[in-house]
Amino acid sequence: MSPEPDLLRTPVPKASGWRLFLKTVVARAYPRVIGQQRERSWIFFDVFLSILAVSAYVFVYRAIGAPEEYVGFVIVGGAMTAFWLNVLWSMSSQLYWEKESGNLALYIMAPNSMMAILLGMAIGGIIATSLRAVAILAVGSLIFHVQYTVGSIPALVAVFLLTLAALYGLGMMTASLFLLWGREAWHLANLAQEPIYLLSGFYFPVKNLGFWVAAVASIIPLTLGLDAMRQLLFPSGAALGFLSVPVEIALLAILTFIFLVAAWWLLRYMERIAIREGRLLEYRR
C-alpha cells in the first residue's frame, strides 16, 4: 500500500503585501454587505423613519413659503444622513466596540493591516448604506415631487466620491481617537450627532450660518459635499452655495488626504502602544 501524502507538511501559500491587504478588505466588507440582506426589516425602518424626519422639514418650509428648491435640499440632506450615521456608529466607535467584544486583540495580533480592516468596514458600510440613501432619495423625490437639474454629471460624481472618501477617512481617524478615549466614545458619539446636523446644513444651505461658521464647519466633509451637490442638482443652488464647486472639490480632495494620513498615523500609534504596554489603549487614570 502506497503511503498517504503528509498533508501536514504540504506548504500552504500565504498572502502577503498588497494581496493580503486586498483579501483583508474583502473579508471585512463581506459581513456588512451580507448582514444587510439578513435583516431586511432594518432597511424598511431606516428608510421609513428617515422619511418621517425629512417630511417634518418639508412641511415647515412649505408652510412658511420657502422656495421649492428647499424641499430638494432637505431630500438630499436626508439621504446623506445615512452615510453620516454609518460613519458615526459603524466606523468611529467600531474599534471601541471590538475591544469590548474581545476582537480587538485579534486584530492587533493578526499580520494584516489595521488600515485594511477599517477600509473593509468602510467599503462594506458604503455599499450597504448606499441602498438606504438611494431609497430615501427616490421615495422622498416621488412623494414631494422634487425636480432635479444636473449641471455636470462628472462633477457630481467627483463630489459624491470625494465626500465619501473624506467622510470615511474621518471615520477611520476618529476610530482610533474613540478607542483612546475609552468609555467616553459612546457619549461623544451621541454628543456629536445633532451638532453635525446643524453645522453640516443637512436641511438648509450652510451659507445661512455665515461665512466664518460655515468655514469652520467645512472641516466636516459633509458640509462641502452637500453644498456642492445642491449647487449641481438645483438651478438656484449656485446662488445659495457657500463656495464655488471647483473650490469645494479641491477642498474635499485635501480633506481626504489629511484624514487618510492621520488615520494611518493614529492606527500605527495605537498598535505601538498595544505592543509596548500590553494593553488596548484605555489611559490609566
What pLDDT was estimated at residue 247? 93
Read off the pLDDT of each residue in 203-230 and give the average, rounded to a whole number: 89
Nearest to 233 by CA among 221, 249, 247, 245: 245
Q: Report residue 216 as a C-alpha cell.
A: 469652520
Nearest to 139 by CA among 43, 68, 48: 48
Using one digit for the tens of pLDDT, what is the confidence trace for 170-195? 888 887 777 777 666 667 777 777 88
- The CA-atom distances, in angstroms, between 188 and each of 111, 173, 208 are 31, 14, 26
What pLDDT was estimated at residue 285? 44
* Residue 14 and residue 103 in contact, taking contact as beta carbons nearer than 8 Å: no
Read off the pLDDT of each residue in 41-69 and give the average, rounded to a whole number: 81
- The CA-atom distances, in angstroms, between 178 and each of 98, 139, 187 are 12, 35, 10
Using one digit for the tens of pLDDT, what is the confidence trace for 88-132? 777 777 777 777 777 777 777 777 777 888 888 888 878 878 888
Map out the domains of the chain as residue ranges: 19-273
Whether residue 257 has pLDDT greater than 90 = yes
Top-confidence range, 28-37, 40-49, 86-95, 262-271: 262-271
